């Protein structure tokens, strides 16, 4: 959708769906992870796209006043009381929720306000606040991958899914770490104002694409982590041309190395052979298409460089233990798909 030509239409959508303002309350504890505040920009730009103030964002804390972020900066907050109101509560996590657990005052507040809020969200390790308050029992949830196992061990009655960007189960939303808060906030905007507004906001925020909740936290490009710009350039080229053969000779030519030298340097920097790394990139792209799209598997296989549908299925079974069709059915059955 062309943003310039459709701004008036998007503003109309926002106006039609925003008869009342929606209050978003960020709950900050001492040492909160400062990255979470970046997600407030999603609501700010949703107002700009809609052409009116649909979202009102406020910062709160149990004691009120100035609260120290993990980086040391201070943020002025309002004091949480029995009269505090918000349609959406965003519980902001800390860098280490095991070393800095939520206070009893905060837990009591969350238990009290959850039934009368439209939704309550745990950003990153903020999901531990919901878990400790007993609100995620018998529900699905996620958190930063580094603490997912700890959450599952500490709260066995929660179905922790460590490889998800964000999850919504009933009125409770939980997100993975750091930038995943942006994706979760965009998911909320889509629920409130529709997909056109959410896409426009993502475009204004210069996000390459809006990751849906079911998308994996894992990134093959980050996992490979080459040391040199030359190998990174080869990987970037491969990601843009997954439908091509991507032979060692072709990749080596892109970075002006001989095939033998390229293979040696690539393996030394990434710990994988070029063939294994390219397969990993292909299966990551195919998984996103299977989970988020409706393309036939033959099309997905062709566009991501697999020989055919059967080859795609073989790789999925080897890597994920599940066939592409089963993964698609499972994804569509989830409310955050």
pLDDT of residue 60: 97
| Backbone region of residue 256 per phi and psi (left: phi > 0; alpha: psi in -120 to 50; beta: other values) | left
As a whole number of angstroms, the distance between CA 316 and CA 326 comes to 10
pLDDT of residue 15: 46
Tell me how crowded residue 99 is: count the other CB atoms within 10 A of its CB: 8
The CATH code belonging to domain 220-332 is: 1.10.10.60
Instruction: Give the start-to-end residue ranges of the domains of the chain.
Output: 3-204, 220-332
| Backbone region of residue 225 per phi and psi (left: phi > 0; alpha: psi in -120 to 50; beta: other values) | left
β-partners of residue 175 are 166
- SS3 of residue 320 by DSSP: helix
The CATH code belonging to domain 3-204 is: 3.40.50.880
Helix axes 259-270, 274-292, angle to 10 degrees: 70
As a whole number of angstroms, the distance between CA 285 and CA 279 comes to 10
Cα dihedral 161, 162, 168, 171 in deg (nearest 10) = 90
- Tokens linked to 234: 């080869």
Burial tier of 157 (Cβ tally within 10 Å: 0-12, 13-18, 19+): exposed
DSSP 106: H
pLDDT in tens, 113-154: 999 999 999 999 999 999 999 999 999 999 998 999 999 999
Which residue ranges in the chain fall short of pLDDT 70? 1-19, 208-225, 332-337
Same fold, 3-204 and 220-332: no
Helix axes 259-270, 229-240, angle to 10 degrees: 100
pLDDT of residue 3: 46
pLDDT of residue 8: 47
Residue 21: C-alpha distances to residues 3, 54, 56, 300 (Å)? 24, 5, 7, 42
- Residue environment code for 120-134, b if the CB has 16+ CB neighbours within 10 A, otherwise e: bbbbbbbbbbbbbbe
As a whole number of angstroms, the distance between CA 158 and CA 136 comes to 6
As a whole number of angstroms, the distance between CA 200 and CA 53 comes to 16
Spell out the residues 6+ positions from residue 111 whose beta carbon is closer than 8 angstroms to its own.
133, 134, 135
Closest CA to 24 of 47, 49, 55: 55
Contact 250, 263 (CB under 8 A): no
As a whole number of angstroms, the distance between CA 323 and CA 333 comes to 16
Contact 58, 25 (CB under 8 A): yes
């Amino acid at each position: 959708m062309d943003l310039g030509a459709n701004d008036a239409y998007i503003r109309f959508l926002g106006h039609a769906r925003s008869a009342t303002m929606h209050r978003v309350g960020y709950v900050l504890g001492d040492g909160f992870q400062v990255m979470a505040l970046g997600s407030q920009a999603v609501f700010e730009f949703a107002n700009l796209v809609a052409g009116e103030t649909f979202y009102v964002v406020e910062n709160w804390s149990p004691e009120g006043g100035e609260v120290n972020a993990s980086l040391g900066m201070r943020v002025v907050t309002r004091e949480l009381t029995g009269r505090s109101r918000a349609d959406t509560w965003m519980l902001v996590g800390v860098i280490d929720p095991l070393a800095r657990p939520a206070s009893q005052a905060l837990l009591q507040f969350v238990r009290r306000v959850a039934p009368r809020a439209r939704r309550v969200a745990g950003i990153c390790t903020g999901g531990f606040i919901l878990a400790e308050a007993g609100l995620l029992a018998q529900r699905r949830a996620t958190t930063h991958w580094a603490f997912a196992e700890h959450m599952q061990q500490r709260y066995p009655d929660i179905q922790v899914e460590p490889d998800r960007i964000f999850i919504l189960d009933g009125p409770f939303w939980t997100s993975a770490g750091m930038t995943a808060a942006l994706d979760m906030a965009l998911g909320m905007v889509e629920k409130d104002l529709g997909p056109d507004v959410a896409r426009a906001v993502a475009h204004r925020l210069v996000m390459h694409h809006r990751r849906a909740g079911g998308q994996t936290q894992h990134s093959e490009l980050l996992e490979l982590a080459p040391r040199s710009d030359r190998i990174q350039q080869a990987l970037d080229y491969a990601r843009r041309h997954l439908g091509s053969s991507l032979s060692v000779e072709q990749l080596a030519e892109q970075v002006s190395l001989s095939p033998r030298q390229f293979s040696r340097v690539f393996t030394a920097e990434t710990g994988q052979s070029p063939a294994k790394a390219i397969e990993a990139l292909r299966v990551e792209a195919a998984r996103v298409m299977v989970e988020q799209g409706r393309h036939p598997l033959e099309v997905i296989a062709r566009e991501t460089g697999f020989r055919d549908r059967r080859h795609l299925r073989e790789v999925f079974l080897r890597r994920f233990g599940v066939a592409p069709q089963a993964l698609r059915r499972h994804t569509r059955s989830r409310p955050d798909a």
